[in-house]
């Protein structure tokens, strides 16, 4: 197994997370996929801001786990889900990461980022 590079956010690649004071509702194919007042906004470097939605506020039955995975040296491994109700446009969209610093590549409509359940 190859070691993956790990980078720490800093002045050249800042990452900030803050509570989003607004309600976030995600609809795909006319179906509400997520509805929360507890979203977190992540701002990373020059990328567009993304929303993190707690798993408890996501209709997980509407998601299908994908085999697609990626790695970011700042945020770690990412697993993806697809939303069948959204067709091809909703394939491999929402992200779950093992750490809270996760990034979602936003599509034309907002897609939920699913945070892992808290460790018990």
* CATH (domain of 28): 2.170.150.40
CB atoms within 10 A of CB 9: 14
pTM as predicted: 0.71
d(CA 54, CA 34): 9
What's the number of domains the chain is made of? 1
In a domain, 22, yes or no: yes
Q: Compute the mean pLDDT over every residue in the chain, rounded to the nearest whole number.
A: 77
pLDDT of residue 103: 37
As to burial, measured by CB atoms within 10 angstroms (0-12 exposed, 13-18 middle, 19+ buried), residue 86 is buried
In a domain, 90, yes or no: yes
Q: What number is the average pLDDT over the span 3-16? A: 88
Question: Of 1-5, 7-11, 12-16, 77-81, which range is least confident?
Answer: 1-5
In a domain, 59, yes or no: yes
Which among 73, 99, 98 is positioned nearest to 17, based on CA atoms? 99
Which among 48, 103, 51, 93 is positioned nearest to 73, based on CA atoms? 103
pLDDT of residue 95: 66
Domain that holds residue 74: 15-97
Contact 106/53 with Cβ under 8 angstroms? no
Q: What number is the average pLDDT over the span 18-45? A: 89
In a domain, 104, yes or no: no
pLDDT of residue 104: 36
**Dihedrals φ, ψ of 38, to 5°?**
-120, 25
In a domain, 110, yes or no: no
Q: What number is the average pLDDT over the span 32-58? A: 88
């Amino acid at each position: 197994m190859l070691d993956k590079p790990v980078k720490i956010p800093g002045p050249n690649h800042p990452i900030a997370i803050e509570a989003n004071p607004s309600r976030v509702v995600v609809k795909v194919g006319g179906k509400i996929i997520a509805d929360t007042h507890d979203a977190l906004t992540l701002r990373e470097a020059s990328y567009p801001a993304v929303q993190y939605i707690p798993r408890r506020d996501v209709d997980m039955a509407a998601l299908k786990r994908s085999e697609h995975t990626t790695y970011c040296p700042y945020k770690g491994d990412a697993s993806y889900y697809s939303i069948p109700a959204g067709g091809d446009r909703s394939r491999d969209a929402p992200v779950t990461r093992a750490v809270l610093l996760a990034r979602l590549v936003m599509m034309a409509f907002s897609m939920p980022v699913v945070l892992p359940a808290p460790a018990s």
